[in-house]
């Protein structure tokens, strides 16, 4: 019989899991156990603190609903989602446009609109145009790419927050044309606070963080034979551009809306961005994130 102390408990746990048949599952759980045990030793975790942590995770689970994924939010504010995104980008067989967080407000089944349409039902400010091309890594056009976009309104709210689970606004699906072009009209989204009314928000407040994300438009772009690109464009003049609560901003994704003689719609200010998709490797795994209604259903 082994005498267990704070070190031999780690060895005992690893030994008992040693016969896990799935090698990848074994690798992941072994590492999680080693890191969790080391973390407990590092901070000299007390029983009260351990219970407080269990209570916090329980509250995170209870805050999840079909339209709210508090665990993804937790991963986001801790920077874990950003790390997983960066690792995913590095695994690509070629470097496409940089990825960013999917976030909790993506929905499948947004309305299919025609190029040039507006994604906003009732704009209260002047519209802008967003346009560019979807190409492969050599700049060759990708026709018929599926471009899913979603964003907050000019008041900083997603449709899920104002219209509930079933209403759709400020989101749409487009297909690129024969030359890989896309363009649509929208309003400039307002930066917004992540949901702060749950346990994750409470944690963020305890850390004296502001909880805001800079103004951005989400994109999920897919083409046959290409790796799906989950990304977002960020407006560089937002006051939180350098302090995104969920670490989604990268320099290559920062844009501005400006007068642009090349815009396909004359008049409104335009954001121009060309996206590059990397070719998919066989059996490559999918996006980092999910429609929260799908997670709840599983
Ligand atoms: C978003 O961009 O929609 C988002 C991402 C992470 C957490 C909260 C919101
Ligand atoms: Fe967002």
pLDDT digits (tens, 9 = 90+) for 125-167: 999 999 999 999 999 999 999 999 999 999 999 988 888 777 8
Pocket probe for ligand 1: among 159, 213, 215, 290, the residue whose CB has the most ligand atoms within 8 Å is: 213
pLDDT of residue 3: 85
- How many angstroms is it from 101 CA to the middle of ligand 1? 7
Q: Which ligand is nearest to the CA of 101?
A: 1
pLDDT of residue 7: 96
Which residue's CA is the nearest one to ligand 1's atom 3? 103
Which residue's CA is the nearest one to ligand 1's atom 4? 103
What six digits make up the tokens of 278?
Answer: 């990397």
Beta strands in the chain (DSSP E): 128-135, 146-151, 171-175, 181-186, 192-193, 212-213, 216-222, 229-235, 254-255, 270-272, 275-276
Residue 28 and residue 8: Cα distance in Å, rounded?
20
Q: Flag whether the pTM goes above 0.85.
A: yes
Asked if 88 and 99 touch (Cβ cutoff 8 Å), the reply is yes
Q: Which atom of ligand 1 is nearest to the CA of 218?
A: 2
pLDDT (tens digit, 9 = 90+) per residue, 82-140? 999 999 888 888 889 999 999 888 989 999 999 999 999 999 999 999 999 999 999 99
pLDDT of residue 280: 87
Q: Is the CB of 192 under 6 A from ligand 1?
A: no
Q: Which of 127, 130, 133, 188 is nearest to 156 (CA)?
A: 188
Q: Is the CB of 104 under 6 A from ligand 1?
A: yes
For helices 199-206 and 47-62, what crossing angle results, to 10°?
Answer: 130
Q: Which ligand is nearest to the CA of 104?
A: 1
Asked if 227 and 280 touch (Cβ cutoff 8 Å), the reply is yes
Residue 99 and residue 248: Cα distance in Å, rounded?
9
pLDDT of residue 296: 55
What six digits make up the tokens of 17?
Answer: 């899991």
Q: Which atom of ligand 1 is nearest to the CA of 77?
A: 7
Q: Is the CB of 101 under 6 A from ligand 1?
A: yes
Residues of the chain with pLDDT under 50: 297-298
In terms of CATH, what superfamily is 70-297?
Aromatic compound dioxygenase (2.60.130.10)
- How many angstroms is it from 134 CA to the middle of ligand 1? 24
Task: Provide CB contacts within 8 A for 61, sequence distance 6+.
Answer: 70, 71
Say whether 163 sits in a helix, a strand or coil. Answer: coil
pLDDT of residue 48: 98
Residue 269 and residue 265: Cα distance in Å, rounded?
9
146-151 and 275-276 beta bridge pairing: unpaired
Q: Is the CB of 105 under 6 A from ligand 1?
A: yes
Asked if 69 and 194 touch (Cβ cutoff 8 Å), the reply is no
What six digits make up the tokens of 277?
Answer: 């998709």
For the chain, give every domain's residue range: 70-297
Q: Which ligand is nearest to the CA of 249?
A: 1
pLDDT of residue 291: 63
pLDDT of residue 275: 97
């Amino acid at each position: 019989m082994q005498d267990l102390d704070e070190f031999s408990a780690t060895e005992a746990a690893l030994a008992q899991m040693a016969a896990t048949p799935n090698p990848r599952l074994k690798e992941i759980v072994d590492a999680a156990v080693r890191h969790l045990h080391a973390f407990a030793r590092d901070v000299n975790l007390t029983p009260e603190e351990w219970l407080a942590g269990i209570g916090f995770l329980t509250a995170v689970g209870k805050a999840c609903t079909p339209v709210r994924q508090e665990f993804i939010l937790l991963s986001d504010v801790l920077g874990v989602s950003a790390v997983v995104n960066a690792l995913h980008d590095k695994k690509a067989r070629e470097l496409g446009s940089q990825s960013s967080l999917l976030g909790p407000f993506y929905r499948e089944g947004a309305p299919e609109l025609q190029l040039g349409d507006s994604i906003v039902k009732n704009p209260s400010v002047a519209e802008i145009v967003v346009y560019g091309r979807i190409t492969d890594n050599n700049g060759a056009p990708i026709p018929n790419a599926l471009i899913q976009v979603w964003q907050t309104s000019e008041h900083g709210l997603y449709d899920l927050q104002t219209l509930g689970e079933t209403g759709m606004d400020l989101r749409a699906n487009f297909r690129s044309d024969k030359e890989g072009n896309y363009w649509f009209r929208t309003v400039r989204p307002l930066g917004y606070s992540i949901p702060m009314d749950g346990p994750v928000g409470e944690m963020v407040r305890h850390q004296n963080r502001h909880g805001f994300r800079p103004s951005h438009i989400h994109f999920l772009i897919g083409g046959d034979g290409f790796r799906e690109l989950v990304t977002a464009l960020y407006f560089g003049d937002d006051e939180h551009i350098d302090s995104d609560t969920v670490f989604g901003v990268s320099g290559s994704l920062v844009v501005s809306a400006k007068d642009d003689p090349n815009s396909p719609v004359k008049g409104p200010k335009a954001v121009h961005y060309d996206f590059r998709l990397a070719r998919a490797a066989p059996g490559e795994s999918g996006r980092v994130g999910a429609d929260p209604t799908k997670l709840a259903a599983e």
